């Protein structure tokens, strides 16, 4: 918890795994308003760690911003992320930034399609992602309707 300043958790070049986020999730249950912004840069998050991160973040009542750099997203992690970006109860993510994120094309299609169906994001940044024609069409549709 010493890395949280002004309700923002910023970690750069840490090696984090799912166990770290399971523990963080427990602390978020105890103090659900401790963090409103999370930035993780080059923390070596694999698909399991990313899934655990999103599960932990769902315990926060005031999360508004999530930025991930050099992270892998799986179908399961995108399902967990869906709850964060589609919640209309006022506590869902408002800003999502994904930089150098790895998703296979089927996961990316699901992710971008999910955003077009219902998302309460106000800001979305996708940096350095190799779009397929189909994923780009979903991505474009998201911006057309929002």
User: Bridge-partner residues for 11, per DSSP?
Assistant: 40
For residue 62, the model assigns a pLDDT of 87
Output the DSSP codes for 49-83: HHHHHHHHHTT-SS--EEEEEEEB--HHHHHHHHH
Output the DSSP codes for 81-144: HHHHHS--SS-S-SEEEEES-B--HHHHHHHHHHHHHS---SEEEEES----HHHHHHHHHHHH
For residue 106, CA distances in Å to 21, 87, 89 come to 25, 23, 29
* Domains of the chain in sequence order: 4-145 (3.80.10.10)
For residue 1, the model assigns a pLDDT of 60
pTM over 0.85, yes/no:
yes
Are the C-beta atoms of 56 and 20 separated by less than 8 Å?
A: no
What is the chain's pLDDT, residue by residue, as a tens digit (146 residues)?
A: 678 899 999 999 999 999 999 999 999 999 999 999 999 999 989 999 999 999 999 888 889 999 999 999 999 999 999 888 887 555 678 999 999 999 988 999 898 888 887 788 889 999 999 888 888 888 888 878 77
For residue 89, the model assigns a pLDDT of 58
For residue 90, the model assigns a pLDDT of 59
Length of the chain: 146
For residue 135, the model assigns a pLDDT of 86
Q: Is 33 helix (H, G, I), strand (E, B) or coil?
A: coil
């Amino acid at each position: 918890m010493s890395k949280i300043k002004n309700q923002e958790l910023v970690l750069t070049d840490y090696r984090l795994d799912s166990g770290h986020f399971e523990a963080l999730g427990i602390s978020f249950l105890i103090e659900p308003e401790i963090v409103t912004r999370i930035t993780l840069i080059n923390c070596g998050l694999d698909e399991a760690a990313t899934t655990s991160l999103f599960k932990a973040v769902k315990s926060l009542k005031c999360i508004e911003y999530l930025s991930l750099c050099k992270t892998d997203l799986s179908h399961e992690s995108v399902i967990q992320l869906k709850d964060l970006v589609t919640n209309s109860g006022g506590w869902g993510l408002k800003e999502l930034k994904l930089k150098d994120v790895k998703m296979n094309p089927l996961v990316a299609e699901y992710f971008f399609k999910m955003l077009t169906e219902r998302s309460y994001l106000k800001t979305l940044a996708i940096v350095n992602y190799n779009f397929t024609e189909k994923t780009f069409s979903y991505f474009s549709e998201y911006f057309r309707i929002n």
